[in-house]
Every structure is written in structure tokens, then in C-alpha cells.
Structure 1
Amino acid sequence: MSKPNKQSKPHRRLPQSRLTERNFPSAQEDAAQPKPASRYDGPGSSYKLAFADSDFLLRDELRPVRVQLELLKPDLVQQAHGIESTIVIFGSARILAPEQARARLQAAEAQGDEQALRRAQQQVEMSRYYEQARRFAEMVTTASARLASPIHVVTGGGPGVMEAGNRGAFESGGKSIGLNIVLPHEQEPNPYITPELCFQFHYFALRKMHFLMRSIALVCFPGGFGTLDELFEALTLIQTGKCRRRPIYLFGRDFWDKLINLEHLVETGMISPNDVHLVHFVETAEEAWAAIVAEYDLDGSQCDEGGGEFAVDV
């Protein structure tokens, strides 16, 4: 005897969102849950979620976790913004914009204070570096916009030369990055950094690592201890092979020759003769950008249809 035909049930397709939806609540969702009034919500309670408990995260024993967070946060944010290659601008926070320097000179002349006058004249002289940094960042931002992966300017996020770098990118309509550091007398981040790319660091070591992670070149303007620290950290890592070699440009040979006697280091055997070639001297934004264009063939094979990826993580 033949069996009766059973009508097959139609196959029901699940919506794609149902197939990929989360299995568990996110940390953000759990942290946002309203907390009912409780005897365990008061000071000293350990009831808070560990990742939402700032007192817990700031304990000395949690330093390894905080170090990891300072490594991850800027890296993940830059990945989300598609930032692959950067040029770092180092330089003094004390170098004034030309208009500020001229205003101080006029005030010193009106006061008749010889010491203040000499200091103001020096500030006017040094202000040319502010303008060169601003101009250089403008050239980087404008010229690299045609690349498959644009190059972004990175600074320490403060005033002076750092402000000039972020300002040049901002005035060109591009994004730029500021890696600020908590200091006892630190000023506010300069107003030209892209807000989503303005970071603050507790650890100098992590900040300096992020300067190098995506950089294809370092451009160093006159500066003091902080600038020298950043410059020599990069030179040491390149010299010892701890990071990929990349060009380092020093703005203003007269300043740097008076500060660092590279030939003396060679003559006394402190560095190898080839080590002097780790740095290149430039005087203008145009000269620095032309050198980078030649280094990476940016006017040829790396344009729109080319590659565009230059940096390699340290």
C-alpha cells in the first residue's frame, strides 16, 4: 500500500541580523544598566563592575592593564579612521606664531626693558620655524590627499611647533593627530587637532611608541629637552635595528650644528661614520617635502592607483 504524500514545509530564512546578533550583552550595555538604590552603592563598596570602577583601575597593581590600554586605545581609534601612514612633527612648545612674537616685540619696545627686548627679538627670529612647520603640514595634507592612503600629520598636541603642525593640516581641510601627555604645567591641547584623534597619555614610553608606529618620516624643529628626548629615542631605535629605518629631517642646520656635534661623536668613536646619515638637514618646508616625495616616489608609483601603505609597526 502506498504511503500518503506529506506536504513539505517551506524553508524559513532567518534575517541576517538574527544570524549575527550578539549572544551576550555587551560590556557597555551592562555598565549602562540602571542601578537600584542599595546599601552596596556607597563609598568603599566593591560591587561595581571591575571595568567601570575607576578607583580599582587606578590601583598601583593595575599598572600593566593601564599600559595595555594606552597602547590599544590610540591604535584602535586610528585603525577605525583608516590611518595607516603618518609624518611626525617634533619641536618646541615655546616657539611662537609670528603674529604673537611681533606683538611681544612691540610690547617690549614700549616698555624699554633691554632684557625683555632681546628675548622678544629672539622669539621673532625663532617664529620662522612656526611658519615653516605650519607650511610643511599644509603641504603634507594637501599633496598626500591624492594617495590611496593619505599621510596624516602627528604632533605632541601642545602649543608652539606642535600647534603649527596641527594648524597646517586643519587649514588644509585634513585630519591630524595630537598625542598629549599629562604634565604638571601642561596647557590645553591646541585647538587644531581633529577631536576624534586627540589623545592623552600618562606614560611617555607609550606616547613615543605611538609616534613611531605609523610614521614614514620624522621632522624635527628646534626644541629643548622634550624634543631631544623624542629625537634621540628614534635615532637609537633605528641605529640598533629595533625599528624600521625611516628618514629624519632636522630643520635649521645652524641651530642643530651648535647643539649636536655629530662629527665629534664620529671622531671619538662614539658613533659609526654611517650613523651621521641617519639625519638630514633642511631649511624650508618645500625642501623637506621634496625629500619625502623622492624617498617614497610619491609623485609616481604611489599615487591614486598605486599602493599607499608605507609604515610598518615598530
Structure 2
Amino acid sequence: MAGVTFALARPLAAPRARRRLDLTGWAFAGPATLVVVGLSLFPAVWAFFISRAKWNGVAPGVPVGWGNYQRLVQDPDLLAAARHTLLLTVLFVPASIILGIVVAIALNQKIRLIGFYRTCIFVPYVASAAATGILATFVFNPQFGAADEVLRRLGVPAQQFLESPSQALFVIVLIALWGEVGFTTVVYLAALQDIPRELVEAATMDGAGRWRVFRHVTLPELRPVTVFAAVWQTITAVQLFDLIYTTTRGGPLNSTQTIVYYIYELAFQTQRLGYGAAAAYLLFVVTLLLTLGIIWYSRRRGSEVF
């Protein structure tokens, strides 16, 4: 009889124990979940409703439907900002990936002080981007900057750098690479160390040189990581704001005004919050499509990473 009672009690005790564990888990995760939802999901939904209104943040908003989105398509300033963002992305993403692979291969060697070198590469990434931008304004200053001083010693004419409409965006890309190449380096370094040594040894024993091993063994093994790095760096380039804010403020002559900085000007300088929210949602859609496009292309090439 006691055995029957114990057998009946076990199915009843199991759900209770499971509920107790679930409640304990939610007790720990619940507050953080509420904070994340409150600081991300709710503002995103609210911004969508703002994007369908004409609102300056003070007076009551006037509903305009999809009028803000229709105006965006014909906005010449937004189109110019989109061109600048596209150029920045095209220059930044491949360069950061190539530099990341090259530096990671160099740091994957067994040399003295390798830990120190790896730390030096990663420090610019963890440093504040705003601080990096402020420092860059001194380095590339046409009057007393270190960059022009080096050019003078090499016999090269001094350049305007961040004060030149034709050079400023390229300098921004260079500064961004300085700050972001540490990330791609660490990612590729971890991927290189995960490549099975047997594959490299087998290719070497078959007579493959270093270049063939790199091309036919290393690069295919790094393909999933490359997809991840491309997605991550694309989002980073499209959403770049802090460097531009601390260096050029979109100048000179709006030559470095990207979409994110243009949204900042719309929302917080001209107080066109509805129009700025519409531009932000348009940027979200473009970023999502770019990300999905990269993932779709990588899967067609046989790289499963997401």
C-alpha cells in the first residue's frame, strides 16, 4: 500500500518541483527581462507611432499617416547621406575583414610576447569610440597634427584631412578601422585556433605549400566566421555615429553626414521627431535587408552560420 502511495505521489511532485524551478528562474531573469523590454521594445513601438505623425516633442502630434515615409523617398539630404553611408560601408567592411585575417594569422604564430601584442591590438576596440574620435581630431589637425608632421618629414605636402570635403570620409574610415580591427582579429584568431591541425598536416604532407594550405584549407574553414564578421561590421558601419559626432559633425559641407547622423539632426537639432523616427525605421529596414542578403548569399555558397 505504501508503494502505491509513493508511486502516485511521484507524478504529483514532479510538476511541483518543475514549477518551483521555473518560478525561481523567472525571479532572477524577470527583472532584467522587464528592463530590456522597457528600454528596447517599448521605445521601438512608440517610435513607430511617432513616425506616422508630425511632432516637435512639445505640441500635440498631428497624424500624417505614411506622409513622412513618402517625403523620405524624395529627400535629397537623405539620399546624399545614404551615398556617404554606402561608400563608408563598402570601404570599411572588406578592409576590416582583410586586416582582421592578416593580423590574426600574424598573432597566431608562436613568438615571444605574443600575449602583449594581442592585447595591444584589442585595446583600441575596448576604448571609447568618442575618446578615439577626439584623439583623432588632434592627430589629423592640419596645423599641429602628428599626421601632417610625418608627411612633412617625408617630403609630402600637408593635407587637410578632416577639414577637406574630399578626404574627410576616407579619414573617418581609417579611424573606424583603427578602432574595429581588434574585434575581427580576435574573432579570426579564435577561429584559426579551432581549425583541426590534422587538416593542415594532411595538406602539407600532400605537397601543398603555405599559400595552397591557406587558400584551400584555412579560408574555407573561416567562411562561417567571415559571414558573421561581415554582418557585424556592416551593421557597425551603417550605424556609425560617435566618430562622426566627435570629429566632423557631418562636415565639411556635409561630406561625412551619414544616415544616423542625419537622423540625429532631424530629431534633436531641428525637432522634427516624427520625420526623424520615419528615417530611423527606414534605416532599420535597410539594415535588416542587408543582413538577410548576406546570410542568404552565404547559405547559397554553403556557409551555415546563423
Q: Is the strand fraction higher in 1 or 2? A: 1
In the superposition, the TM-score normalised over structure 1's length comes to 0.23
Q: Is the helix fraction higher in 1 or 2? A: 2
Higher relative contact order (CA 8 A, sep 6+): 2
In the superposition, the TM-score normalised over structure 2's length comes to 0.23
